[in-house]
Structure 1
Amino acid sequence: MLLGIVSDTHMPRMARSLPAPLAKALRKVDHILHAGDWTDLRVLEALEKFAPVDGVAGNNDGPEIVKRFGLKKILKLGDKRIGLVHGHGNGTRDATEARAIRSFQDDDVDCIVYGHSHVPALKEVNGIIVFNPGSPTDKRRQPQYSFGLIKISGSRIEAKHVFYSSKS
């Protein structure tokens, strides 16, 4: 199973459509996860053209998106349990990863996907893969735009980033 992982699309303010590198990659995925800050449900419509979509709301999402997705969830995909959260809350943007990890401290998960900081991250913490895909449309101070792919094969889970320089 191949998952497309996005966060912080901030559309349509940061892009009117999905960036070409993202759209090309999504043609090959089985499921898409969005870690919040959609800002408009038209992003969901665009993503659903490629694969089933699940996600959570972020701090820039309105009540309609919060009601539709909630703020935290655990998804069973293949043989793995993936915790999904935006990562916003009290404290600085630097504390995003710690907040994301803490939000699943009492849960049995194999991977935590989060967003909010727009900073791509991939590490293992206490046997759990911790992954932030960055942003496909709003790189902020990052050198490139990014999204992620997670491959689940039986008991194996592998995450990687896809980086690119232009949204077109």
Structure 2
Amino acid sequence: MVISDNHGQQSMLDKIRKLESDSDYYVHCGDSEALEERLKGWICVRGNNDWIARLQDEIVFEVEGVNFLVTHGHRYGYFNREEIMVDDLLRHGCDVLLSGHTHVPQCDEINGLYLINPGSTTLPRQGSNKSYCIIFVDQGEIKVEFKEII
């Protein structure tokens, strides 16, 4: 289960975790603006609005042979963004990039690599709705399902 950019709406962490209680991993792509104790049990990176010293800028983890890179995404800029994201995946030897920052849901496959952004749980942009996503991994294959928050 992947979320991003709840920007201090800490109740959203509990709400989605309850909705997706059977998830194996809970990933936050940054800008939680949460208190450190609220992030226990989450794979969580630092966004440009997070101030918890222990948060890392990047985390790599593996699920069933699929390597994930998690980062907030604010360092990718706006020009050649996807090209830079793919280069970052290749540099880390990963298959899937999980990032936030834009507040816009994204799931693009480029040459077998995935760029996934769950959108924002509280402040969606560009006409998108409040959202998060679920990623299913089965024998090295991934399927992404976006869910809207009502």
> TM > 0.5 between the two?
yes
1:34 maps to 28
**What is the TM-score with the length of structure 2 in the denominator?**
0.85
Matched, 1:55 2:49: no
State the SS of the aligned residue for 1:68: coil
Partner of residue 162 from structure 1, selected from 142, 147, 150: 147
- Aligned residue runs from structure 1 range 16-165, under 5 A: 16-18=10-12, 22-41=16-35, 45=38, 48=40, 52-62=41-51, 64=52, 67-89=53-75, 91-92=77-78, 96-164=81-149
- Identical aligned pairs, as a percentage? 27
Change (3 A) 1:20 1:60: closer
Deviation at 1:132, TM superposition (A): 0.3
Instruction: Determine the C-alpha separation between the residues in 2 that align with 1:32 and 1:19.
Output: 10
Instruction: Please state whether the residue corresponding to 2:92 is helix, strand or coil.
Output: coil
Query: Following TM superposition, where does structure 1 have runs of at least 4 consecutive aligned residues deviating by more than 6 angstroms?
Result: none
CA contact (8 A) 1:96 1:116 kept: no
Deviations 1:16-40 (A, max 9, x none): 5117862443212111111111112
Over aligned residues, Cα RMSD in angstroms? 2.4
In structure 1, the gaps of 5 or more residues are none
Residues 90 and 104 of structure 1: is their aligned pair in 2 closer, same or farther, counting only changes over 3 Å?
closer
Instruction: Identify unmatched segments of 5+ residues in structure 2.
Output: none
